[in-house]
Amino acid sequence: MDIGIVSMRYAKALMGYAKSTSKEDVLYEEFKSLMRSFEKHPRLRETLHNPVVAKEEKFSLICTAAKGEGNPSEEFKRFISLVQKNKRDDVLDFISHAFLSLYRNARHIGVAKLTTAVPVSHEMEERIRKSASTVLHARMELQTEVNPAIEGGFIFDINDYRLDASIATQLKKVKQQFIDKNRRIV
């Protein structure tokens, strides 16, 4: 079984259904929240793969991961029921990722992630978002993350490109240059 083909088929079917019911935006937000839950809680995947956990518990867990305390949309519930009926809930994270990609491509939305050593002000976030959106000619979703391990500077991931201007990477490069130079001397 090719997970990519299966997940893309489900995602395309969901996208078509969402367009016909005009619930694309609602489903996008729910699947975005579900993907955040998959990223924050790796055990969620393990639970969905576990055959001992009852189908109803998995359904409840997925709905909570997508909407928190609130109730997810009927379209979301129907889709999850379909996925469970066809015993594909173990690839739900791949389906979610494929649906998000399809939605972003259809709506011309770019995704960027900014990692810094210290928190960035809201004004700076907006400037980065606007600059990236003018370069890509697309609306931008910017995620920010604080990681003190980079020691300074920033790492900017946009779509499939990475700009690594962190101090940690610069120090690694300098260290590698010294190591390479010393190997030639001996």
Q: What is the pLDDT of residues 74-132, one digit of tens each?
A: 999 999 999 999 988 889 989 999 999 999 999 999 889 999 999 999 999 999 999 88
Burial (CB count <10 Å: 0-12, 13-18, 19+), residue 30:
buried
pLDDT confidence bin for 12, thresholds 50/70/90: very high
- Report pLDDT for 185: 62
- Report pLDDT for 31: 94
Q: pTM value?
A: 0.80
pLDDT over 70 (residue 1) = no
Whole-angstrom CA distances from 142 to 25, 90, 179 are: 18, 29, 37
For residues 11 and 80, is the Cβ–Cβ distance under 8 A?
A: no
pLDDT over 60 (residue 186) = no
Burial 134-155 (b: 16+ CB within 10 A, else e): eeeebebebebeeeeebeebbb
For residues 119 and 146, is the Cβ–Cβ distance under 8 A?
A: yes
pLDDT confidence bin for 34, thresholds 50/70/90: very high
Structure tokens at 28: 């996008």
pLDDT over 70 (residue 57) = yes
pLDDT confidence bin for 32, thresholds 50/70/90: very high
